Amino acid sequence: MSAPRKAHMAGALAPPAPGAVLSLPLAHRLLGMKESGAFGVCGKCRSLYMVEGRLLTLASSSLPLPAEAAGPTASTSAADARPLLEMKGLSKSFANVTAVSGFEAAIAPGEFVTVVGPSGCGKSTLFNIVAGLEEPDSGSILRFEGRSCHARELLGKVSFMPQRDLLLPWRTVIDNAVIPMEIEGRSRKAARAEAREMLPEFGLAGFGDQYPHQLSGGMRQRVALMRTFMFKRELMLLDEPFGALDALTRTMMQRWLLEVWRKHRRTILFITHDVDEALFLGDRVLVMSARPGRVKLELPVSLPRPRSAELVTDPEFVRLKRILLEAIEEEAMKSFLAPGASGTH
């Protein structure tokens, strides 16, 4: 720990910007040691890291940075930290209901962000917008890969698992999984071969030729997830994918999903009503307010990965859970007492 301490003693200076790339001599000076490789500052947790090596976890929000580092080699943060998806002042009204109002969030590439909020607060509406199925109200700002866009331009750019699994009952597991690729015009034979290879990873080995009614609820959800993963897009939207599962299957699916996410390295936005699930999976949790939905609380989850089942008893997990529960309960109560869909907002 002596190296990080030295870093903190090195002069009274401003902390480095998230995503900044530090020059090698400067990084060596900060750490008080000689190492090869490039150094940067993590855009999420602000840790100083070595590009080809271990993560050097420092309390880097207070990491000092010498004035000379403000030169051209020190800060390329804007490009590095560019969000994949940005939503600003996002609103959506239906006839007499305002579902979402003033929703703001930015999602970084590779992030796993979970979304919780009371029933009817506009979570699925938000996903429908990001998936390109609904246009938000005018004045809403939507940016994808750094470019402003209409929601409809995102259709086909984002993979989406809707709240219901929507498997076609007359199609087998394989033929359900290949639907997006068929729509893209790929050869059905090649798509089927690819799907068959993925079956074991999704716990569906030997079930490729079964029909949805022959599967358990958990298996149906894995087919829907496999279909979403096979539609290879950087951003995946998963709307309560484990909602219908019993607690044990759900826990297994969560661990499995983290493993699949680690391997495939996608960016995931994940809706859930389960606070434990939101914390266990997410890099960040967004708590939505009662309708009209906006972000009430953004909670970073700095729990280490890989995450194991015991994490739920960790004091930090319990602390974060308390914060989340308090925020959600307040909104759930407002939601419960609010007028129904016939009321105006």
Ligand X SMILES: Nc1ncnc2c1ncn2[C@@H]1O[C@H](COP(=O)(O)OP(=O)(O)OP(=O)(O)O)[C@@H](O)[C@H]1O
State the residues that interact with Mg ion by CB under 5 A: 123-124, 163
Shortest Å distance, C-beta 122 to Mg ion: 8
* Residue of 119, 216, 302, 308 interacting with ligand X (CB under 6 A): 119
If the CB atoms of residues 109 and 120 are measured against Mg ion, the closer one turns out to be 120
- With CB under 5 to 8 Å by kind, the binding choice for 29 among Mg ion, ligand X, none is none
Shortest Å distance, C-beta 100 to Mg ion: 12
Shortest Å distance, C-beta 341 to ligand X: 5
* Residue of 121, 275, 297, 327 interacting with ligand X (CB under 6 A): 121
If the CB atoms of residues 163 and 249 are measured against ligand X, the closer one turns out to be 163
Q: Among all chains, which residue has been given the structure tokens 């597991």?
A: 173
Of 20-28, 67-75, 122-130, 306-314, which part binds ligand X (CB under 6 A)? 122-130
- With CB under 5 to 8 Å by kind, the binding choice for 119 among ligand X, Mg ion, none is ligand X
Would residue 37 be called left, alpha or beta, if left means φ above 0 and alpha means ψ between -120 and 50 degrees? Answer: left
Point out the residue whose Cβ comes nearest to Mg ion. Answer: 124
Shortest Å distance, C-beta 224 to ligand X: 16
Cα 327–58–113 angle (5° rounding)? 35
Of 34-42, 112-120, 151-159, 301-309, which part binds ligand X (CB under 6 A)? 112-120
Token output for 199: 């079956």
Q: Is 166 among the residues that bind ligand X (CB under 6 A)? A: no
Q: How deeply is 36 buried, as exposed, middle or buried, from its count of CB atoms within 10 A (0-12, 13-18, 19+)?
A: exposed
Q: Is 341 among the residues that bind ligand X (CB under 6 A)? A: yes
If the CB atoms of residues 60 and 125 are measured against ligand X, the closer one turns out to be 125
Site string for ligand X, 90-109 (x = CB under 6 A): ----x--x-x----------
Site string for ligand X, 279-298 (x = CB under 6 A): ------------x-------
Token output for 123: 């979570």
- With CB under 5 to 8 Å by kind, the binding choice for 121 among Mg ion, ligand X, none is ligand X
Residues 54, 55, 58, 62, CA torsion sign: positive
Q: In what order do the strands lie in the sheet with 147-148?
A: 97-107, 85-94, 141-144, 147-148
Q: Which amino acid is at 279?
A: L
Dihedral angle of Cα 82, 83, 89, 91, to the nearest 10 degrees: 150
Residues 7, 13, 15, 19, CA torsion sign: negative
Pairing state between β 48-50 and 97-107: unpaired
* Residue of 124, 210, 249, 251 interacting with ligand X (CB under 6 A): 124
The 3-state DSSP class for residue 160 equals strand
Q: Is 162 among the residues that bind ligand X (CB under 6 A)? A: no
Of 106-114, 120-128, 303-311, 321-329, which part binds ligand X (CB under 6 A)? 120-128
- With CB under 5 to 8 Å by kind, the binding choice for 40 among ligand X, Mg ion, none is none
User: 172-182 in b/e burial notation, b at 16+ Cβ within 10 A?
Assistant: bbbbbbbbbbe
Residue 16: closest CA among 38, 44, 48: 48
The 3-state DSSP class for residue 64 equals coil
Question: Is the bond preceding 292 in cis, omega lying within 30 degrees of 0?
Answer: yes
Residues lying near ligand X in the complex (CB under 6 A) are found at 94, 97, 99, 117, 119-125, 163, 291, 341
